[in-house]
């Protein structure tokens, strides 16, 4: 399995704090059958910057340590890049990291609670620039929870979505679990990843979530969401995924229809 979203790099954000913890993190992942871990520290102005060159150096150090420990897990660079107006320019300048350092695939993060400004326009510009847009945990974003059509719009523009394993298992509450199922059944999420921050409450384990998502979309597709689909993103290729359901038209009330007749 491939875990496309983790906070395994030690001491750079709110995830793993020491190299010893990073080694333990990798052991837990390997025991669950994960063979590739993408290190995706936060990249966010005013919080955790983690530019590309620093992420590459951190990944190199972690790889060397894991090799010395005999842990057969591949570590690849990346970042969880927070929304910013000049994101295209930051990627082109080699400052904002991309998944597997492929120069194309952005793991894209929105605020959990604040509404973004002109999101569809930004996604359109990113796609026009040749970037892949992979939304981190859309099931946990209030902007999408309040109206799923907002998320359907960016998917129609060519964006993809990463479902967090804990969301599917109820770690963040029943409402997010239900929304996760809705997105999965509609074909609006394409990758399952752990978004693991430690080896305790938010650990790098995918197998249970794959089983759960398999009850929603079928075991075959759920397995692909931690295998060939994330591999396509790492290679910078658009994955072969089922087309999402067509969004249902908004039902207008009798009162609003009556007003439109005036």
Residue 39's Cβ-side half-sphere holds a number of Cα atoms within 13 Å equal to: 31
Rounded CA gap, 206 and 118, in Å? 33
Rounded CA gap, 90 and 92, in Å? 5
Place of tokens 């409402």: 175
Is residue 193 within 8 Å of residue 4, measured between CB atoms? yes
pLDDT at 248: 62
Report the number of distinct structural domains present in the chain: 1
pLDDT at 215: 98
pLDDT at 253: 44
- Mean pLDDT for all residues in the chain: 94
Instruction: Enumerate residue ranges in the chain where pLDDT < 50.
Output: 251-262
User: How far, rounded to the nearest angstrom, does the alpha carbon of residue 207 sit from its chain's CA centroid?
Assistant: 17
What CATH number does the domain containing 134 carry?
Answer: 3.20.20.140
Place of tokens 């759920």: 222
CA angle 231, 191, 51 (to 5 degrees): 70
Q: Which domain holds residue 176?
A: 2-260
pLDDT at 246: 75
- Consecutive H or E run containing 231: helix 228-235
| N residues, the chain | 262
Q: What is the DSSP letter of 129?
A: T
pTM above 0.85, yes or no: yes
Rounded CA gap, 235 and 231, in Å? 6
């Amino acid at each position: 399995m491939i875990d496309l979203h983790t906070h395994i790099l030690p001491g750079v954000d709110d995830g793993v704090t020491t190299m010893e913890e990073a080694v333990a993190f990798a052991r837990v992942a390997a025991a669950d059958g994960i063979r590739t871990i993408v290190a995706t520290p936060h990249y966010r102005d005013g919080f955790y910057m983690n530019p590309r060159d620093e992420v590459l150096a951190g990944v190199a150090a972690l790889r060397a340590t894991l090799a010395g420990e005999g842990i057969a897990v591949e570590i690849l660079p990346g970042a969880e890049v927070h929304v910013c107006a000049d994101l295209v320019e930051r990627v082109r300048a080699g400052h904002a990291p991309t998944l597997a350092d492929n120069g194309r695939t952005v793991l894209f993060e929105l605020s959990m609670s604040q509404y973004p400004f002109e999101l569809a326009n930004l996604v359109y510009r990113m796609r026009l620039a040749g970037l892949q847009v992979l939304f981190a945990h859309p099931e946990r974003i209030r902007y999408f929870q309040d109206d799923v059509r907002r998320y359907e719009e960016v998917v129609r523009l060519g964006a993809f979505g990463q479902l967090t394993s804990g969301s599917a298992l109820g770690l963040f509450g029943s409402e997010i679990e239900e929304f996760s199922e809705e997105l999965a059944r509609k074909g609006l999420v394409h990758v399952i990843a752990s978004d693991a921050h430690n080896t305790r409450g938010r650990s790098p384990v995918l197998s249970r979530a794959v089983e759960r998502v398999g009850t929603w979309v079928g075991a075959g597709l759920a397995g692909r969401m931690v295998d060939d689909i994330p591999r396509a993103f790492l290679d910078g290729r658009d994955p072969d995924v089922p087309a999402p359901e067509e969004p249902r038209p908004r039902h207008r009330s009798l009162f609003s229809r009556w007003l439109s007749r005036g």
